[in-house]
Chains A and B, each alone.
Chain A
Amino acid sequence: MKNIWILARMTFREAIRRRIVATGLVLGICFLIIFSIGFHFIIAQVRSSEAAVQSDIAKMALARLENVEGENALLLAGLYAVTFLSIAMAALLASDTLAGEISSGIIQTILTKPIKRFEVILGKWLGFAFLLMLYLLLMGGGTVLSVFIQTRYVPDHVWIGLGLIYFEALLIMTISLACSSTLSALATGGIVFGLYGLAFIGGWIEQFGALIQNSTAVKVGIIASLIIPSETLWRRAAFEMQTPLTGALGVSPFGAFSVPSPLMIAYTAVYLIVTLIIAIRVFEKRDI
């Protein structure tokens, strides 16, 4: 247990020293600034048109409703971008870690210490999990906060939503770590982004299939989600955070129309754990 902690700290320190954290921070702040400015002007535009029709109380109530819908849609669009950035961060952090250390030989002095290989995997996993949590708190938390400061709007179940996005980042990180324990960094990156693309397109096929009520398309999407369930986590997160109206109409491009069930979320949790176990097994057997 102590070794896992030592290695997790090492992983975290490496990310700081190699300026991965600093880079993520600077780009993240840029993202938040642009999102906030864009949000500000769009909302201002909506409000001024709202002011023009203020005479009628019924219209005002309708505009108020539109307002919340608009804020929610923009916020979800922002969080969708945050999700993608978190996934990219997760893949980049974990894809080079084992592969890179094996090819450079850095790992040799570590593995010849009185530690077990599974401790190396778990230590790295914990270190990355902590980093991704900080990243998501900055980016996701920052996006939600920016909207809150400007409009006092907070979506429903915001913590569940952010938690599910974090879960997605952890899933991608775990898959990267597993590939990295046996493949090169480049191959790992290729596989992980390929899988992400599969999940992405599978998710959209399922969405549209549900919209036009084509059960074959929905099935194709579900199969894609079973192969790589990352996108289902985003859709569940969007479902949790969207307004009841959007949920009923299913009109937002970033929302969820075909909603993943809690069972699917449980499947994803099992998927993550199994992937981690595979990573450990593969790494334990591998010649360094």
Chain B
Amino acid sequence: MPESFAIETHELRKVFGEQAAVKSLTLQVKQGEVFGFLGPNGAGKTTSIKMLLGLVAPTSGSALLLGAPIGNRAMLRHMGFLPEHFRFQEWLTAGEFLELHGQLYGMQDRDLKSRINELLERVGLSDFRKKLLRTFSKGMLQRIGLAQALLNRPKLVFLDEPTSGLDPVGRRLVRDIIHQLKEEGTSVFLNSHLLSEIEVTCDRVAFIRHGEVVRVMELSSLDVGQINVTIHAKCLTPEIAAGLSQWGKNIQMDGENLNMNLTSESAMPEITRYLVSRGAEVYALTPKRASLEEIFIETVGKDDGL
């Protein structure tokens, strides 16, 4: 059964004129996972999402969402979407806006009413129910847009840059909501430029470049990689530095700072004892894991962003 995947695409391609916006997108998103979609500007992320949502027709290739082809009406009943440029019917009040979208989902009045109350509470806009969206700030619009995407208790949610207009409190809220969705078994397809957020929310990420998936990785594997340590100490000599090679490699000394890669964090106390015994005055040992940002730049290249 393809049902085990929330999204499954096969060589999805979109050509505008002579330009291939998406060359060949093949990826699988498992049910219940939070999937990050990363890539530089112009890599074809937005076009990819629009194809999956049925807003843009693919030139070729195929995709199944929740086991159904793109644009299937029954499937759309179980899908939520928060667009990147969240512009809504600003002449409606927050309550009316959610009512309209709930009705379009085909929700029953009573269920819709309680769901609207619940979601307004969840995104912190209960007091603004009767206010026109015209009077909303960017952050408030993004919150109401998020509530709109969750009205139907979706099985699959697309969030395109869900925190771009939010302050730190709002970002925290979105992160909490994503965690809650995951607990409820909802699959989340997250497109974001904020790698720190992807890092804390996603199970897996795909890097795309020139409209192709170049790498898919589990984020838990980030911990397994090497650890980079910066040592700040006085009275370091090249001999002392050379002696550090038993715990790691790539040792580089620059005055009072020394940088090296360790395979394990557990070597750090030993290193400290070694340095002190050799007469170095240690001020700090700072471990740094390889961040998603570094992997991002390494994977999609430095100068591809437009």
Contact = CB atoms under 8 A, between A and B. Distances in A.
Interface string A219-251: 000000000000000000000000000000000
B104 A110 contact: yes
Nearest to B151: A113
Interface string B76-108: 110101010111110110000000110111100
Nearest to A6: B103
B53 interface: yes
Given A17-B91, A287-B55, A287-B56, A109 B83 contact: yes
A114 B53 contact: no
A202 B104 CA distance: 44
Interface residues of B, number: 28
Nearest to B52: A112
Q: Which of A3, A6, A112 has the most CB of B within 10 A?
A: A112
A260 B81 CA distance: 51
Contacts of A110: 104
Contacts of A13: 91-92
Interface in A115-132: 115-116
Interface residues of A, number: 23
B55 A105 contact: no
Contact of A112 (B55, B85, B92, B100): B55
Contact of A288 (B50, B89, B103): B50
Interface of B: 50, 53-57, 73-74, 76-77, 79, 81, 83, 85-89, 91-92, 100-101, 103-106, 145, 148
26 contacts: A2-B106, A3-B104, A10-B100, A14-B91, A17-B91, A18-B91, A104-B87, A105-B86, A105-B87, A106-B87, A106-B89, A108-B55, A109-B88, A109-B145, A111-B55, A112-B76, A112-B79, A112-B81, A113-B104, A114-B76, A114-B77, A114-B104, A115-B73, A285-B57, A288-B50, A288-B56
Interface of A: 2-3, 6, 10, 13-14, 17-18, 104-106, 108-116, 285, 287-288
